[in-house]
Chains A and B, each alone.
Chain A
Amino acid sequence: MTTTTETPAPPRNRAPFPVHRHAALIALIALILFNVFTTPRFLTLATLNINLTQTATVVIVGIGMTFVIATRGIDLSVGSLMAISGAIAPLLFLNPTLGPNIGTVLAFVLPIAATGLLGAFNGLLVTRFAVQPIIATLVLFIAGRGVAQVISGGQLVNFTQSGFTALGSAKLLGIGAQVFIMLALLAVAVFVLARTLFGRQVIAVGGNPEAARLSGVPVNRTRMLVYVISGLLAGLAGLITIAINSSSDSNLVGQNIELDAIAAVAVGGTALNGGRVTMIGTLLGALFIQLLRYTLLVKGVPDAAATVIKAAVIIGAVALQYRRR
């Protein structure tokens, strides 16, 4: 009759090395090794500095983007917000009535506050008016650059205000200041996402919004906040960009950065439809894309071919993360 068998504990084979979870890291290491062996003068402080400084703004914007994407959103307006903060700042630190000191301090505070507010506007559209994020932020993507141009009269503003430009030119141990800002923000973001109530709620909202709501997560407030964070960080990135160049060009500051940031987030391993989020991944993704660009430049690959190679490599790096079911 029925054999009533004792149930052996299901054998737990150890899963093989999870390549998909470290795809960005593996890709980055591979690219570094490639350069170590083929690019002269690659292992220098200068190389490190160039690549880190050039990635800083993308990573800073990417941190905000990661928060937004974690809630299943997307923020196309970041580039325009950078232009707005970049357009406001010179009005403050070049303003003779404010004086250089007050002006400089205000130039750090007000533009970022303004873009934070615009982030809140994005959030409002997404939460109150239930507009899909890609469209909600498309509004400021278009209008925001116009606003920046109106603020600056479309003119390129040149300046040499050392207090402010230090943001772009100061160095510590041979590494630019913006790199340290980036690393500090990243550390905070990693902590927030992994360890704080807000961070967990962000991920819950992305994982299953209705379940989150019924479990007492303030879904709308959470989504609102991620857009504000994204706005604030874009504002800061805008300031860094103009500080490095000692000039503010509202037509160009932040152009196409949303694509770079989204690509970094995706290559890093964050899922665009919620549930899987990694902040470090965003850093690795951004570094990978930057190093790829560096490599193609150093190797003298012409622009057109470089674009094709970049596309293929990015898709390949993302594909590594997806296991077949």
Chain B
Amino acid sequence: MTALPTTRTRPNPLHLLQGQGALIALLALLLFASLRYDGFFSLYNASSFFRYNSMFLLIGIGMTFVIVTGGIDLSVGSVAAMSSVLAALASPHGAVAGLLAGLLGGLAVGLINGLLITRLRIEPFIITLGTFLGARGVAQLASGQAAVSVDSTGRFAQLGQGDVLGLPIPLLLLLLTLLIFVPLLRATRFGRTALAVGDNEDAARLMGLQVDRTKLGVYALSGLLAGLAGVILAAQFGAGQPTEGVGWELTAIAGVVVGGTLLSGGRGSLLGTMVGVTLLGLVFNVLNFENGKGVISIDVFWQNVIRGVFLLVVVLLQSRSARRGPSS
């Protein structure tokens, strides 16, 4: 009897790097930047980087949950804007009130998304395109079409501007969220069901899994986290901003995909998303520092081109390694 060569993957140090195109790119960029620019690796730069990018990272977490079910949530940017307004309006009643107002606002839109998607069985792209418009409108109506100051006497602003143990509070909120959501995706029935739904929704249904409830759950989560991002937005910048959050959904989606999550669903990694979103955010930071060198001044318009090309390179890196990479 002929024995087939086993094609099983042996743990191979090179294999570990495969499928990690984004991580490699991130490390390379960090190394490059820290060697080239003064002040890049400063505590100030790092903490202000995360203070700002924590919003996208949070949204990326929710987006990952949605995308592993094979869905998409275009409403997150508008929801963040809306929640920032709600939080700012509620902030005079205390930090907790502000936080809750933002979170509940986001949750409400997430639930609406989830209900419409599961009840009417309309593609998520369309429903969330609708709430993308709707939440923006609500943000403008609620704010009277102008930024709303947060209460400056209370502690609400601390949620965005404060530090604990030298770490910015938004970053801590992010870490806390990760601590909850990584196991939620990996090791709970909800998380596994979410993956199963993205893999094959019909099969998941016939397997007796709670498909609709799970889908409702992921959109609710996405809304909730967009709401949290909105709270941070209001607290950090001292104002609820009805016009903010434009294009955030695309940043989040790109970050999720760059992080190695399948856009078609069924497989995803939150840590990958963290790498992806960080990488895309870092490009802005590095471009600003490069201009500061005064060696070559990169024209504004070229900056867009560079960002696009950079996305292209990372995506190509990722798509090639994804095709070669191990199947687990």
Residue A144 is within 8 A (CB to CB) of chain B in the complex: yes
Instruction: List 5 extra interface pairs beyond A272-B125, A319-B116, A324-B120, CB under 8 A.
Output: A129-B316, A139-B308, A146-B306, A272-B126, A315-B127
Residue B203 is within 8 A (CB to CB) of chain A in the complex: no
Cβ < 8 Å to A, chain B residues 98-132? 116, 120-123, 125-127, 129-132
A318-B122 CB under 8 A given contacts A132-B257, A138-B311: yes
What B residues does A132 contact at CB under 8 A? Answer: 257, 263-264
Q: How far is the CA of A161 from the CA of B229 in the complex (A)?
A: 49
Could you tell me the distance in whole angstroms from the C-beta of A123 to the nearest C-beta in chain B?
14
Instruction: Decide: B137 and A273 in contact? CB cutoff 8 A.
Output: no
Majority DSSP secondary structure for residues of B touching A: helix
Instruction: Decide: A150 and B122 in contact? CB cutoff 8 A.
Output: no
What B residues does A318 contact at CB under 8 A? Answer: 122, 126-127, 130
Instruction: Decide: A315 and B121 in contact? CB cutoff 8 A.
Output: no
Instruction: Decide: B116 and A145 in contact? CB cutoff 8 A.
Output: no
Set A149, A153, A303: member contacting B140, Cβ < 8 A: A303
Residue B305 is within 8 A (CB to CB) of chain A in the complex: yes
Q: How far is the CA of A312 from the CA of B116 in the complex (A)?
A: 12
Could you tell me the distance in whole angstroms from the C-beta of A24 to the nearest C-beta in chain B?
13
Q: How far is the CA of A131 from the CA of B312 in the complex (A)?
A: 10
Residue A157 is within 8 A (CB to CB) of chain B in the complex: no
Instruction: Decide: A146 and B254 in contact? CB cutoff 8 A.
Output: no
Q: How far is the CA of A150 from the CA of B263 in the complex (A)?
A: 32
Residue A279 is within 8 A (CB to CB) of chain B in the complex: no
Could you tell me the distance in whole angstroms from the C-beta of B238 to the nearest C-beta in chain A?
22
Q: How far is the CA of A153 from the CA of B311 in the complex (A)?
A: 23
A307-B137 CB under 8 A given contacts A135-B254, A150-B302, A271-B123: yes
* Number of chain B interface residues as a range: 35 or more
Instruction: Decide: A134 and B253 in contact? CB cutoff 8 A.
Output: yes
Set A154, A266, A305: member contacting B126, Cβ < 8 A: A266
Q: How far is the CA of A150 from the CA of B134 in the complex (A)?
A: 34
Instruction: Decide: A154 and B304 in contact? CB cutoff 8 A.
Output: no
* Number of chain A interface residues as a range: 35 or more
Set B141, B302, B307: member contacting A304, Cβ < 8 A: B141
Set B126, B307, B320: member contacting A143, Cβ < 8 A: B307
Residue B250 is within 8 A (CB to CB) of chain A in the complex: yes
Residue B309 is within 8 A (CB to CB) of chain A in the complex: yes
Residue A43 is within 8 A (CB to CB) of chain B in the complex: no
What B residues does A154 contact at CB under 8 A? Answer: 300-301
Instruction: Decide: A146 and B308 in contact? CB cutoff 8 A.
Output: yes
Could you tell me the distance in whole angstroms from the C-beta of A96 to the nearest C-beta in chain B?
25
Interface residues in chain B, defined as those with a beta carbon under 8 Å from any beta carbon in chain A: 72, 116, 120-123, 125-127, 129-134, 136-138, 140-141, 145, 250, 253-254, 257, 263-264, 299-309, 311-312, 315-316, 319-320, 323
What A residues does B320 contact at CB under 8 A? Answer: 129
Nearest chain-B residue to A251 (Cβ)?
B301
What B residues does A145 contact at CB under 8 A? Answer: 304
Nearest chain-B residue to A324 (Cβ)?
B121
Set A146, A147, A311: member contacting B133, Cβ < 8 A: A311
Nearest chain-A residue to B135 (Cβ)?
A311
A142-B311 CB under 8 A given contacts A131-B319, A135-B253: yes
Instruction: Decide: A142 and B304 in contact? CB cutoff 8 A.
Output: yes
Q: How far is the CA of A142 from the CA of B307 in the complex (A)?
A: 7
Instruction: Decide: B308 and A273 in contact? CB cutoff 8 A.
Output: no
Cβ < 8 Å to B, chain A residues 118-157? 125, 129-132, 134-136, 138-147, 149-150, 153-154
What A residues does B123 contact at CB under 8 A? Answer: 266, 271-273
A311-B134 CB under 8 A given contacts A146-B308, A273-B123: yes
A308-B137 CB under 8 A given contacts A131-B316, A135-B254: yes
What A residues does B116 contact at CB under 8 A? Answer: 315, 319
What A residues does B299 contact at CB under 8 A? Answer: 150
Nearest chain-A residue to B129 (Cβ)?
A263
Instruction: Decide: B134 and A312 in contact? CB cutoff 8 A.
Output: yes
